[in-house]
Structure 1
Amino acid sequence: MSVAFVKEESAEAASETVLPARPISDRINLVTNEGLKMLEDAYSQAHQALEAANALDDINERRRQSAVPARDVRYFSERLRTAQLTAPPTSTDAVAFGHTVTFERDDGRTQTYRIVGEDEADPSKGSISHASPVAMALFGKSVGDVVQLGKDELEIIAIA
């Protein structure tokens, strides 16, 4: 085996452990207090994982173990840099960022979601991103308003 072949393998291994950047939304990075804390915690965890990986003696294992944390450190660093902490709304007259909105769909289902930042949104836990189609349709509307969302209609029942 030639030295050139070994170096080529090493270069290939290195390029396979550099992951592409996580996509970052081009929308404004609004965050709640909880969302900012979540971003800070995620950055800290990624940074600790990267430090642990960088402490490994085996170069190939170090590359493999550091790929995900290095990518996450870059992502969360950028999300923290661009985060715009948004105070909770003081009025429930119209839907805004941070509100919890209950609405009824035209098929009779009632749903409740809190409108939060993109990184903290988790519909299965009752939160949606401010950039989601549902949130965008609800912004500025009041209790009793009916909004069109594609072929569906949503009637706002409550804003908290």
Structure 2
Amino acid sequence: MNKAFTKEDDGSTAPQRLDDLPISPHPNYVTPRGLAQLEGRAEALETEITRLRGAAEDPETLYPLAVAERDLRYVEARLASAHLVTPPEGAYPRVQFGATVDVLNEDGAPASYTIVGEDEADPGAGLIGAPSPLARALLEAEVGDIVEWPRPSGMVELEITAIRKAS
């Protein structure tokens, strides 16, 4: 094989630069809690980068440093593009970003979902990102409406039973 196509370890301890993480093409709406989480993550990454740079003579810190720097670039880009959506005063007349929605599925099983920004999403905790198919199905619905949620296993109907401020 031609030597031009091989990568040999030259013993260099120059810091690596990892490719940036992909940024969503969707508007970056954030709740107050989501914005605070991003700010906290940025602060934690800055602290970690400072710690890792302090140990720069240790080659074992080069990759973790590159990961932390890449992650900080991502968080800073998300903070720069964040559109804070504050909850409305009073009741929610229909499902909006930041609202918690109580639903019943076709079998009568209850569930609650809170529509949040992509970086705050945690489906296991009922926090769903606004661009998700479930959030898109719920947005603008009112109590009593039945919405159709397209899933890979087929369409699911959900009845909106309550809309409230996220806790």
Question: Is TM (by shorter chain) over 0.5?
Answer: yes
Structure 1 unaligned spans of 5+: 1-6
Pair 57,21 (structure 1): closer, same or farther in 2 beyond 3 Å: closer
User: Structure 2 residue aligned with 1:152, among 153, 156, 161?
Assistant: 156
Asked if 1:103 corresponds to 2:66, the answer is: no
> What is the RMSD of the two structures over their aligned residues, measured on CA atoms?
2.1
Q: Is the 8 A contact 1:55 1:62 kept in 2?
A: no
Write the letter of the residue equivalent to 1:61. E
* Counterpart Cα distance in 2 of 1:158 and 1:13: 58
TM-score (ref. length: structure 1): 0.86
* Counterpart Cα distance in 2 of 1:120 and 1:9: 40
Which residue in the other structure is 1:93 paired with?
93
Write the letter of the residue equivalent to 1:104. L
Write the letter of the residue equivalent to 2:86. A
Structure having the higher helix fraction is: 1
The residue correspondences of 1:1-160 to structure 2 (distance < 5 A) are: 8-10=8-10, 17-58=16-57, 60-90=59-89, 91-150=91-150, 151-160=155-164
Pair 11,36 (structure 1): closer, same or farther in 2 beyond 3 Å: farther
Structure 2 unaligned spans of 5+: 1-6
Q: How much does 1:11 deviate? A: 7.5
* Counterpart Cα distance in 2 of 1:86 and 1:57: 40
Match of 2:60, SS state, is helix
Any runs of at least 4 consecutive aligned residues in structure 1 with deviations exceeding 4 A, and if so which?
11-15
Write the letter of the residue equivalent to 2:130. H
Moved more, 137-146 or 85-94: 85-94
Percent of residue pairs bearing the same amino acid type: 40
Write the letter of the residue equivalent to 2:38. L
* Counterpart Cα distance in 2 of 1:13 and 1:26: 36
* Counterpart Cα distance in 1 of 2:12 and 2:26: 35
